[in-house]
Amino acid sequence: MADDFAPREAILAVLSAGLASTAEIAEELGMPERSVRRNLRRLAREGYVFSPLRGWHRLTALGQIAIESR
């Protein structure tokens, strides 16, 4: 379970710059898109990110607080 935290934190860090596509996140982090999608779904369920358009993601207020408190 702890191994999941590092990729999710990295995804939040990428999204702290603003709206990003799944492909952009995967490329920036050097992760497979499938892994990024899985982590994004989990982050969305937890309330840290949302998807205003299919395949595009941004931080929620909770996600922004999580980044700022790092």
Q: Which tokens hold the place of 23? A: 């492909």
Q: What is the pLDDT of residues 16-54, one digit of tens each?
A: 999 999 999 999 999 999 999 999 999 999 999 999 999
For residue 13, give the nearest of 38, 52, 39, 45 by alpha carbon: 39
- pTM comes to 0.89
What are all long-range contacts of 21-26, with beta carbons under 8 Å and residues at least 24 apart? 21/55, 21/56, 21/57, 22/55, 22/56, 22/57, 23/55, 25/57
* The pLDDT value given to residue 54: 95
* The pLDDT value given to residue 17: 96
pLDDT above 90: residue 2: no
Domains and CATH numbers, the chain: 2-68 (1.10.10.10)
Q: In the β-sheet with 56-59, what is the strand arrangement from edge to edge? A: 20-21, 56-59, 49-53
